[in-house]
Structure 1
């Protein structure tokens, strides 16, 4: 009986082992990656799930259309109350700005219209100190906080661009900003501050653009404001001033 059992194992065991390595069985063996996926339900689910698409962005993409989108992608400019300096506008004790000088040309208005950059505005000013420092201007929003202490940034203004030059005889600041208030409100506010700080002030107008500017003899200080009414009732302003802090 023992010899018979040994004979059977001797004959059939090699055949069974050979079957394990056969070509048909090799095709059924799983790779390491397949074993890993099968062992991790989260991976399998993630691979088999549908891709999520934002329908709003999908409609904007307009990828399958032969015509361009019906409207450009949204890139609206925020309202003037967004990203402002947050200060309250103090209107107590304001002095009314004088009416524009009648019958007088406004070369500063033409200069502002012709200028492409803040440096171009500064370079076209009559004040020699401002004009001489225009070439040294460097652009940064931080310059808007370094205006002369007596002619600061208007409260709740939203700065769009700023530049400055500091060193030697230069303490020049040029700032573009917008405000939700009217031209008259800004004229009164800056006229009051300039007058009380010892500056002369002259109001000119050329079409839709107003200019308020003046000088101060004791320290060769000078400033000029270019103000234009916005369609929403607010005001766009370019302010040029030396003696910045």
Structure 2
């Protein structure tokens, strides 16, 4: 009888339409997460044991391809977005030096958004999820092949906000030069400052603003927090 039941079960299953898991993945999310090949990332945003500090994650954190080939490919894709190597602008000189951003203001992207000047109301309305990395403004996308670790955003009226953390093997200065070029091309100001271990690129265009916080993590990868408001 057990054999008959097993056969019946298999026969029933064989008649069901099975949708491949891959078909259920949002293409925009997949694009935002980019390559996911093993490395040794630093743990502050990935260790689930720190969920009380990070405010939770999506349980699908990508890893970073830090091979030379991947780095070169990321650079070439970034240059293509700019329109070619000759369009990449040099970073401006450092305008000022400040104190290091407190850990409490950079442990999550929501805290970073508040530090970058977002109002308390806007920060409270932030929604967490990798999809927000795919919804970054066209002027300030996640750097090509950057592995998104955390993202949040909202489209509340008068409170459009995006905040994303990602990692890349491309050095901080190159990543910042990419965003500097994008900012100027979109009519934003662009100012460079140094705050402790971080280099910060920020600017405004009317009521809209952006901020890019770049640092080298313990694993040697570049760790980026990117915040945009009003875009």
**TM-score computed with the length of structure 1 as normaliser:** 0.59
Shift of 1:180: 1.1
Root mean square deviation of aligned Cα? 3.0
Measure, in 2, the Cα distance between the counterparts of 1:136 and 1:163: 10
Shift of 1:234: 3.0
Computing the radius of gyration from Cα coordinates, the structure with the larger value is 1
2:114 paired residue number: 123
In structure 2, which of residues 105, 109, 125 is the aligned counterpart of residue 114 of structure 1?
A: 105
**CA displacement 1:76-103 (0-9 Å, x = unmatched):** 5543359x9x87231611001113224x
1:100 paired residue number: 94
Measure, in 2, the Cα distance between the counterparts of 1:89 and 1:119: 26
- Mapped contact 1:130–1:242 kept (Cα < 8 A): no
Aligned length: 165
Measure, in 2, the Cα distance between the counterparts of 1:222 and 1:131: 16
- Mapped contact 1:139–1:162 kept (Cα < 8 A): yes
**CA displacement 1:4-24 (0-9 Å, x = unmatched):** xxxxxxxxxxxxxxxxxxxxx
Structure 2: tracts of 5 or more residues without a match: 4-38, 42-62
**CA displacement 1:118-140 (0-9 Å, x = unmatched):** 211112233xx555411100101
Structure 1: tracts of 5 or more residues without a match: 1-31, 37-74
2:196 paired residue number: 207
Quick check: 203-212 or 87-96, which moved more?
87-96
Report 1 or 2 for greater relative contact order, CA contacts < 8 Å, sequence distance ≥ 6.
2
2:151 paired residue number: 162
Measure, in 2, the Cα distance between the counterparts of 1:175 and 1:189: 16
Measure, in 2, the Cα distance between the counterparts of 1:239 and 1:139: 15
After superposition, where does 1:210-229 map in structure 2 within 5 Å? Answer: 210-217=199-206, 220-229=207-216
- Mapped contact 1:164–1:172 kept (Cα < 8 A): yes
**CA displacement 1:52-94 (0-9 Å, x = unmatched):** xxxxxxxxxxxxxxxxxxxxxxx95543359x9x872316110
